[in-house]
Amino acid sequence: MGVGGRLSAGVERRSGEGLVIRVPGDKSIAQRALILGALAEGESRIGAAPRGADPLSTAGALAALGVEILGPDGPASEPVRIAGPGLRAWRQPAAPLDLRNSGTGARLLAGALAAQPLSVVLTGDDSLSRRPMERIAAPLRRMGAGVEYVGRPGVLPMRVTGGPLTGIRHGGEVASAQVKSAVLLAALGAGVPVEVREPRRSRDHSERMLEAMGVEVAEGWRDGAWSVRLPNPPASLAPLDMEVPGDFSSAAFLLAWAALSPGRAPLTIRAVGLNPTRTGLLPVLARMGIGVEVLPGRLAAGEPVGDLRVGARTGPVRAVDVGEEEIPGMIDEVPILAVLAARARGVTRITGARELRVKESDRLAALALNLRRIGVGVEEYPDGLAIEGTERPLAGTVECFHDHRIAMAFGVLGATRDCDLEVDDPAVADVSFPGFWKLLERVRVPVAGKPAVRAEGPRSAPRCVVLAIDGSAGAGKSTTAAAAASRLGFRHLDSGAIYRAVTWALLESERRIDEMDQVTREELEALEVALDWSAGVMGVRIRGIRVPERALRADRVTASVSRVSAIPLVRAQLLDLQRAAARPPGLVAEGRDMATVVFPDAHVKVYLDADVRERARRRILQRIGTDPGNAEIEAEAARLKGRDLLDSTREVAPLTRADGATIVDTTHLDPVAQTEAVIDLALPFLPPKH
Ligand code: DC
């Protein structure tokens, strides 16, 4: 333990050497320790275990499997103790195991359960139930376990039926520490050799811990892939006695705060995990002119641990370029890097970070939106961001999208000079860093009585329920969305009308259709596109004037709108406008990319579809008011197919069914039934009065 201090997160002391603090234990490592401790024979002792939601979920699941665990919800200063029953001694639980939000818990337990003579259903919360499971299920099935989806294919809930397994050589297409760990745990439990091959090295916490527990692990590059093997799985596993290293990702927030706070005392963060697969931010900080001294310490369960120290800064923070090769080693640190970039001198470019779109939130979108909102210039790429550093005062409300790292990154910025930020959901930080706001409050140099961030406890802002409805042309989106919005008392965002209004304005400016994609940002900005809700239904204003409905529906607009809406710049330019339409009590958003791009966190996602001839019939009926003949239907169907093709094959925000969207086929439904179907899906999210 460090000098005379505490082991849990917090300020350890203030002294001549400055401020000394600790951050919570690393939850990736802690959850592995819990699971491996529960497979070992004898008592494991896990000190400094974080008490956040994820480790608690995993510990709860292990307890339901009959493993005796002491103190997982006790004070962080006390170790967690596990009475390990041995490799294949878990008991059949009475009910499904709910891993809530813990992806590590769900995936690693699936692997461990594959070798137990049990049949267990794993479930999780809504967000975990959207994450892909097949990449784990497939290798476990190949080893001989039964893995079935109880609900929708590919996601939780999932039943794992374990039994004797055979060893395999698994070659994954993506490097994933969770997949690798699941397969290793299955082989370990079953006592069979195994090899996992990855296109690049993923985090190696499991391998290090297994080695520390006496398991032979062979690793290295073999035939162009990173190979991890258990050549001789042991008959039993020695228990663990360890201190969980502080979470580097949590420490990163404090490092960034220190870097942005000139004039403060030196800051030391004790006993931080320094696994090289996790510390990729350090060389980036060095390039930004932020010096972090690393004082190496001992190993904990095979993990390097050390103190991090940020001295006084000598020069300005400089912008950096961070590309694909560097991202894997700092994937969780991109939000805090983005915040540093906002205060750096120059433009920071982050690329190769597409995976951030499927984290707790679409982190690239969340960062872009919030940075813009508080006054920072940002460009969003499909796989990254360009951020223009500024010294101007920054102010505004930050929307967290239930994402702890977004909340903390902006919390850090809010605790620096010339920033007045409000974080809408501060409590979300508890997921990985309980006590974050208090610690931030205590370390910062007090600025004239101003609290670091106005974030004391969750605000009880009224909630805005978002229903996202996407689908092909003529599937019944507008009718359904308008009717559902009116029934629910929600706003109806007709995003197609916005693209139509922009198309109309560009046509009015006499731009030729084949030159549309040369439109510049300045031209688009000059249109001053705005939404107008004054009449109860959405209108679109261009330079202050509401575009009449008949202009929006004019044939020449309909003929060109697919081209215009495929222009990346146009889409990017209209993103904030659409998101800002969300107001309590709710919004029904209708279009092609509502659930995928604009509102990826929508409460309800619906994909409407119908047979193309039926869609054609409805379109004509809508236009001319009478039922069309066959020839007209065929001609319109051909046109619709063309538009569908353009909408679904374009590069930006193509029309696709979002993960987790419910398909409603309206071919044989009338408008009333369609609306009912959508409202039924929304019911669980509505406030009581509905
Ligand atoms: O729904 P609509 O027919 O009014 O849409 C007009 C066009 O705009 C259509 O070609 C698809 C496009 N669009 C889009 O690309 N993204 C949206 N969110 C909505 C519409």
pLDDT averaged per 10 residues in sequence order, the chain, 690 residues: 46 70 95 98 96 91 96 89 97 95 95 98 91 94 97 95 96 88 98 95 94 95 94 96 96 96 86 94 94 89 94 85 94 97 97 87 93 95 95 94 94 93 92 89 58 42 84 90 91 96 92 82 92 88 91 92 91 92 92 92 91 91 84 92 83 84 90 88 71
C-alpha of residue 384 to centroid of ligand 1, in Å: 25
- The verdict on residue 505 lying in a domain is yes
* Nearest CA, atom 2, ligand 1: 496
Pair (200, 284) in one structural domain: no
Q: Are residues 433 and 327 in the same domain?
A: yes
**Which of 207, 234, 261 is a domain's end point?**
234
One domain for residues 523 and 605: yes
Query: Is residue 500 lining ligand 1, measured as CB closer than 6 Å?
Result: yes
**Rounded CA gap, 128 and 360, in Å?**
9
Q: Is 227 helix (H, G, I), strand (E, B) or coil?
A: strand
End-to-end CA distance of the chain: 55
The tokens of 96 are what? 């499904």
Pocket test for ligand 1, best of 479, 499, 538, 652 (most atoms within 8 A of CB): 499
Residue 639, ligand 1, Cβ within 6 A: no
- Atom from ligand 1 closest to the CA of residue 552: 4
Ligand 1 atom nearest residue 598's Cα: 18
Q: Is the CB of 562 under 6 A from ligand 1?
A: yes
Residues 6+ apart with CB under 8 A from 144: 163, 164, 165, 166
Number of domains in the chain: 3
Examine residue 460 and state whether it is found in any structural domain, yes or no.
no
Name the residue at shortest CA distance from atom 4 of ligand 1: 496
Distance 572 CA to ligand 1 centre (A): 14
Rounded distance from Cα 472 to ligand 1 centre (Å) = 9
Q: What is the Å distance from ligand 1's center to 356 Cα?
A: 26
Residue 11 counted as domain residue: no
Amino acid identity of residue 593, one-letter, is D
Q: Omega of the bond prior to 157 within 30 degrees of 0, cis?
A: yes
Residue whose CA is at the smallest distance from ligand 1 atom 15: 565
Place of tokens 């020695």: 238
DSSP structure class, residue 237: -
Index of the ligand 1 atom closest to the CA of residue 578: 18
Give the residue from 188, 207, 234 where a domain finishes: 234
Distance (Å, rounded) from C-alpha 23 to C-alpha 612? 57
Dist. CA 499 → ligand 1 center (Å): 6
pLDDT (0 to 100) of residue 144:
98
Q: Does ligand 1 lie within 6 Å of residue 476's CB atom?
A: no
Domain range for 469 = 465-685
Q: What does the pLDDT read at residue 5? A: 39
Residue among 529, 556, 561 to mutate when testing ligand 1 (max atoms within 8 A of CB): 561
Q: Kindly state whether residue 112 falls inside one of the protein's structural domains.
A: yes
Output the pLDDT for position 451: 45
- Among 513, 564, 565, the mutation site with the greatest number of ligand 1 atoms within 8 A of its Cβ is 565
Give the 3-state secondary structure of 320-344. Answer: CEECCCCHHHHHHHHHHHHHHHHCC
Residue 190, both tokens: 């079953």
Are 649 and 675 part of one and the same domain? Answer: yes
CA of 565 relative to ligand 1 center, distance in Å:
7
Residue of 478, 557, 592 with the most ligand 1 atoms within 8 Å of its CB, for mutation:
592
Q: Where are the alpha helices (DSSP H) in 343-435?
A: 363-374, 404-414
- Ligand 1 neighbourhood includes 647 CB (under 6 angstroms): yes
Residues 400 and 487 in one domain: no
For the whole model, what pTM was predicted?
0.62
Residue 332 annotated in active site? yes
Torsion sign, CA atoms 496, 499, 504, 505 = positive
In degrees, to the nearest 5, what angle opens at C-alpha 181 toward C-alphas 178 and 183? 110
From the CB of 592, is ligand 1 less than 6 Å away?
yes
Whole-number pLDDT of residue 399? 93
Angle between the N-to-C axes of helices 27-37 and 103-113, in degrees from 0 to 180, rounded to the nearest 10: 20
Q: Establish if 8 belongs to a structural domain.
A: no
Can you give the pLDDT at residue 617? 92
Indicate which residue's Cα is closest to atom 10 of ligand 1.
Answer: 562
268 lines ligand 1 (CB under 6 A): no
Q: Which CATH number characterizes residue 489's domain?
A: 3.40.50.300
300 and 396, same domain (yes or no):
yes
Rounded to the nearest whole angstrom, what is the distance from the C-alpha of residue 647 to the centroid of ligand 1? 8
Query: Is there a single domain that holds both residue 205 and residue 273?
Result: no
Of 180, 200, 234, which closes a domain? Answer: 234
Task: Return the SS3 of 77.
Answer: coil
Q: Are residues 371 and 517 in the same domain?
A: no
Name the residue of 472, 495, 639 to mutate for ligand 1: max ligand atoms within 8 A of Cβ: 495
The verdict on residue 500 lying in a domain is: yes
The whole-number pLDDT of residue 655 equals 86
**Pair 304, 275: CB distance under 8 Å:** yes
384 CB near ligand 1 (under 6 Å): no
- Which residue's C-alpha comes closest to atom 16 of ligand 1? 592
User: What is the helix (H) or strand (E) element at residue 41, kind and residue range?
Assistant: strand 41-47
Residues 663 and 574 in one domain: yes
Amino acid identity of residue 134, one-letter, is: E
Decide: 502 in ligand 1 pocket, CB within 6 A: no
Q: What is the largest CA-CA distance in the chain?
A: 88
| Cα separation values, 489 from 10, 95, 675, Å | 46, 39, 14
pLDDT at 454: 45
**In the numeric block, which tokens belong to residue 378?**
């940002």
* Ligand 1 contact via 493 beta carbon (within 6 Å): no
Answer yes or no: is 590 within a domain.
yes
Q: Residue 151 has what DSSP assignment?
A: S
188: domain CATH number is: 3.65.10.10
Looking at ligand 1, which atom is closest to the CA of residue 594?
A: 18
Atom of ligand 1 lying closest to residue 477 CA: 1
Same domain, 227 and 260: no
pLDDT of residue 443: 83
**Same-domain check for residues 127 and 192:** yes
Give me the sign of the Cα torsion angle 511, 516, 522, 523: positive
Residue 456 belongs to some domain of the structure = no
Tell how strand 321-322 and strand 347-350 pair up: parallel
Q: Which of 54, 247, 307, 332 is catalytic?
A: 332
What is the chain's alpha carbon radius of gyration, rounded to the nearest angstrom?
A: 27
How far is ligand 1, taken at its centre, from the CA of residue 553, in Å? 12
Query: Which two three-digit tokens encode residue 455?
Result: 């974030």
Three-class SS of residue 14?
Answer: strand
Residues 253 and 207 in one domain: no
In this predicted structure, what is the pLDDT of residue 511? 77
> How close is the Cα of 564 to the center of ligand 1, in Å?
10
| Residue 297: C-alpha distances to residues 47, 174, 206, 208 (Å) | 16, 33, 20, 16
